[in-house]
Amino acid sequence: MSPLVSFRQVSARIGQKDILHNLSFDVEAGETLVLLGRSGSGKTTALKMVNGLLLPSAGDVLIEGTATPAWDLIRLRRRIGYVIQDAGLFPHFTVAANVGLVPRLEGWPPRDIDARVQQLLTQVGLPPAQFATRYPRELSGGQRQRVGVARALAADPPLLLLDEPFGALDPVTRVELQQQFLDLRQGLNKTALLVTHDVREALLLGTRIGVLHHGRMVFLGGRAEFLKARDQEVQAFHACLAENWRETI
């Protein structure tokens, strides 16, 4: 079986600028590949190539073996849950309408959409009675982010793209949601591509970790390999790990 997502020597160019260089990796069904990298390293750009928001300037991005330009992109996007960095909610939709969007586009009966929205809002810790009818501007940053997570999960997509999904959360809620993410993955056999610049989150959630640096993948491997890797950029992340520990102790 071909991997769910496969990057083959992918380069990305926006305008005159090369953002990604010769990126190659696979995401197998059921795994969570974490893309770790500093700000501006190209993580968001890489995610946008998966659902065809950006197309490669060279190489191929294959989803279930088919290159993105050959996909019906509307269909592809509705089968990929996308948690957008900074949430990207629709300002003129209520929380419930935001979460229920893809099911509605997919023509679910309204009752099923309602039930699904209630269930998801409860799951991400936003009691529907209190939050369903609010607008995004009436939420805190962390609450918006949780709505973004719920929206991505709504149509139960087999593949999830998560762009710093837990970034704006307080540490307690973050750990809760990270734990929920682990449970969810175990229970539902989801495949995920998760972007973060937090090395501890990468180690906690990733079955494998890919490190991006200036648009190149300088490391790809499991946790143990990551901790042993000699690459300079990876070592820079090791260093923050040590810093973090010192703080905690």
* Nearest distance in Å: CB 106, another protein: 8
Of these partners, ligand ATP, another protein, Mg ion, none, which one is at the site of residue 171 (CB under 5 to 8 Å by kind)? none
CB atoms within 10 A of CB 219: 18
Of these partners, another protein, Mg ion, ligand ATP, none, which one is at the site of residue 75 (CB under 5 to 8 Å by kind)? another protein
CA distance 241 to 22: 28
What residues are paired with 61 via a beta bridge? 7
Of these partners, another protein, ligand ATP, Mg ion, none, which one is at the site of residue 45 (CB under 5 to 8 Å by kind)? ligand ATP
Rank residues 85 and 173 by Cβ distance to Mg ion and give the closer one: 85
The tokens describing 92, both together, are: 């003129």
68 binding Mg ion? (CB under 5 A): no
Instruction: Answer whether 50's CB lies under 8 Å from 61's CB.
Output: yes
Q: Which of 6, 32, 44, 196 binds Mg ion (CB under 5 A)?
A: 44
45 binding Mg ion? (CB under 5 A): no
CA distance 35 to 48: 13
- Cα four-point dihedral sign 208, 174, 176, 99: negative
Instruction: Answer whether 177's CB lies under 8 Å from 149's CB.
Output: yes
Rank residues 37 and 142 by Cβ distance to ligand ATP and give the closer one: 37
CA distance 103 to 81: 11
Of residues 243, 206, 195, 217, the one with CA closest to residue 36 = 195
Of these partners, another protein, Mg ion, ligand ATP, none, which one is at the site of residue 101 (CB under 5 to 8 Å by kind)? another protein
Residue with tokens 């191929």: 60
Q: Which of residues 85-104 bind ligand ATP (CB under 6 A)?
A: 85
Rank residues 194 and 217 by Cβ distance to another protein and give the closer one: 194
How far is the CA of 54 from the CAs of 36, 45, 51, 57, 184, in angstroms?
20, 8, 8, 9, 28
* Nearest distance in Å: CB 218, ligand ATP: 13
What residues are paired with 109 via a beta bridge? none
Site string for ligand ATP, 171-210 (x = CB under 6 A): --------------------------x-------------
Site string for ligand ATP, 36-75 (x = CB under 6 A): -x-xxxxxxx------------------------------
For 164, how many CA atoms within 13 A lie in the half-sphere containing its CB?
Answer: 22
In this chain, which stretch among 79-87, 128-136, 178-186, 226-234 interacts with Mg ion, using CB under 5 A? Answer: 79-87
Q: Which residues are at the interface with ligand ATP (CB under 6 A)?
A: 14-15, 17, 19, 37, 39-45, 85, 197
